[in-house]
Amino acid sequence: MGGDPSIAMRNIFWYSMRIGVLTGVLAAVGAVSVHAADDELQQKFQGFNLQGYADNGDKAWDVKGDTADVKGSEIEITNVVANSYGEQKVNVTAEKGVIDQASGNMQLNKDVVITSEQGAQILTDSLQWSRNDDLVTTEDNVTITDDNFSVRGKGMEARPGLKNAKIHEDVTVMVDTEPEKELNKILTITSDGPMVMDQAKGFAMFQDNVVAVQEDQTLKADKMEIFFDLENNKIKELVCSGHVMVEKGENRTYAEKAVYNAVNQKITLSGRPKLIMLTEGKDAITSLGN
């Protein structure tokens, strides 16, 4: 595949960190205690506004809403707008939010949008955060967008404390591998199964019917694993396993495993490798003398 796919995967890892900032906002909000009066089971506030500050006095986060409806231990907020400040600035909006004061958990519903200071976004229709489990989840479709790439899939879970995230199924990643050039080169990776990201270990994996396409080149495998050199922020090794097929034009290569070493730019095929070459036409492989 042409271009540098490490750019795409670095961006995907970046999003697991944005989710971590989001949970910092949710954690602060979940710790807020707002109780109804003893003679009332419910109170409703207009113009809900909460703010939190860092130890140095700088604003760390704020959460606003048109209304806040207190029902026992739960606070229901409409038209949620939350911001996290400091080194990593993130804005979160949703039509509805529910905070459970007892557990500290929070749920956002309808048109949930997470936007970074740089303009990158995560869009979904619901998002749940479990404080004790350090877990952010959704069962809905998820779209992640940035200037030169997008990720779509169904279902997501992330553990920001461990710096890992997973999109469950129907994953599609589209990347412009050469954004500085006028002629875009789009790399598209799809998989029926999950995409797993572990930033702490420098690892990403696609599973189940993985297909990577760029121009006239196609790579297929049951599983694709990507290992990163965290110090230099580059891909170190790419391992494809299970029914591997590499196709360029009419030429095809088959194997059970393909290992690409990004340092020396060599690929090693194992498990009964087979090469099928076209000997005539524009994609033909000819002898050196021709």
- Report how many domains make up the chain: 1
In a domain, 78, yes or no: yes
Please write the tens of the pLDDT for every residue from 109-150. 999 998 878 777 889 999 998 877 878 899 999 998 877 778
CATH number at residue 184: 2.60.450.10
Q: Which residue has the higher pLDDT, 243 or 30?
A: 243
Task: Give the whole-angstrom CA distance, residue 235 versus residue 10.
Answer: 9
DSSP state of 181: S
In a domain, 272, yes or no: no
In a domain, 278, yes or no: no
In a domain, 139, yes or no: yes
Please write the tens of the pLDDT for every residue from 261-284. 888 878 899 999 998 887 665 555
Neighbours of 26 (CB within 10 A): 27
Could you tell me which of 77, 73, 76 has the C-alpha nearest to residue 36? 73
Give strand pairing partners of 61: 52, 84
Check: CB of residue 204 under 8 Å from CB of residue 175: no
Q: What is the pLDDT of residue 96?
A: 94
Domain, as residue range, for 117? 5-36+43-215
In a domain, 80, yes or no: yes
pTM for the full predicted model:
0.73
In a domain, 205, yes or no: yes
